[in-house]
Amino acid sequence: MMTVDLEARIAALPCWRGTVTLEPLPGGLSNTTFVVDDGRERFVARCGGDIPAHHVFRDREQAASVAAHAAGLSPEVVYAEPGIMVIRHIAGRTLAETDLRANIARIVPLLATCHHELARHLVGPANTFRVFHVIRDYARLLQAARGGNNGELSHYVTLADALEAQQMPLPLVFGHHDLLPGNFLDDGKRLWLIDWEYGGFGTPMFDLANLAANGTFSGADERLLLETYFAQPVSDELQRTFDAMKVASALREAMWAMVSEMHPTVPGADYVAHATDYLSRTEGALSLYTERHGGPLASATSA
């Protein structure tokens, strides 16, 4: 849909109480977003359809967003129809990578609430999220698009299999699964967690590793994160699981960008640069894993 048509559609929504003005909100990689002022209040309109290639279904994002508000994590959803969700605007700033590292003590309670309370408010079908399945599915999509035997993609699948084998059993929780800095808002008093398109049931370790991978955490940052979340010293098994999941998180983000380049959803988004960045993070996380743990993963994943 052309931007002018989308803006006209937003302006005609029945939830407004006056004539609206729209301001594009930059930064989205899979949604077109506007700040909307109806003369009485400001809102955010998130616009985008289902993206099956990314396992994104907007009815489930809406359900997760409503539950997140009920759990005290996110602003209220005030209106939704296919392709558009209107949310109350929060006056604040999105975090940067350095903010993730500096706010571990503030972020962990958000994750704990997400993991232990959000599902109690969830209505209807819910997604599941298993990063190793996502990596394998992305590899299949990319293989079909590129054709032939692609050694790089085969390597990613082998790596995912090896990383999955390093995971310790953990409870099933409802996770966010997209803890990029821009999905945290600071209003000066508290943090908010927004954008639930990948919300679903999975392992809590992914959110923890995803946060660390997206924030380029140091070893000390990671230990603080794990000790704060689990309220106990970090065992060797926990550290190995976390380190392996951090590799998987970075690899999934890189492959997300590769698939997004094939199925662009936001004009102007630089998916190539995003993939390059996260492939570099994958290599760094893998090097750290093999340095700390060695063993089967090191030999099984050599390209």
* CATH T-level fold of 3-92: Phosphorylase Kinase; domain 1 (3.30.200)
Single-letter amino acid, residue 263: H
* Helix pair angle (219-230, 236-262), 10° resolution: 110
User: pTM for this one?
Assistant: 0.93
Assess contact for 36 and 86: CB atoms under 8 A: yes
Indicate whether 249 pLDDT > 70.
yes
pLDDT digits (tens, 9 = 90+) for 153-168: 999 999 999 999 999 9
Q: How far is CA 57 from CA 48, 49, 50, 54, 125, in A?
A: 10, 8, 5, 9, 11
Single-letter amino acid, residue 301: T
Single-letter amino acid, residue 284: G
pLDDT digits (tens, 9 = 90+) for 77-122: 999 999 999 999 999 999 999 999 999 999 999 999 999 999 999 9
pLDDT of residue 301: 47
* Structure token digits, residue 72: 């005290």
pLDDT digits (tens, 9 = 90+) for 24-70: 987 666 778 999 999 999 999 999 999 999 999 999 999 999 999 99
Q: What is the mean pLDDT of residues 117-129?
A: 96
3-state secondary structure of 104: helix
* Structure token digits, residue 164: 């999955």
Residue 297 confidence class, pLDDT cut points 50, 70, 90: low
* CATH (residue range 94-300): 3.90.1200.10
Terminal CA-CA length for the chain: 42
Residue extents of the structural domains in the chain: 3-92, 94-300
Indicate whether 5 pLDDT > 50.
yes
Cα–Cα distance measured from residue 107 to residue 214, given in angstroms and rounded to the nearest whole number: 14
Q: Across the chain, what does the average pLDDT equal? A: 93
pLDDT of residue 149: 75
* Structure token digits, residue 266: 């936001």
268 vs 50, higher pLDDT: 50
Indicate whether 291 pLDDT > 70.
yes
Q: How far is CA 85 from CA 61, 101, 107, 141, 206, in A?
A: 10, 30, 25, 28, 26
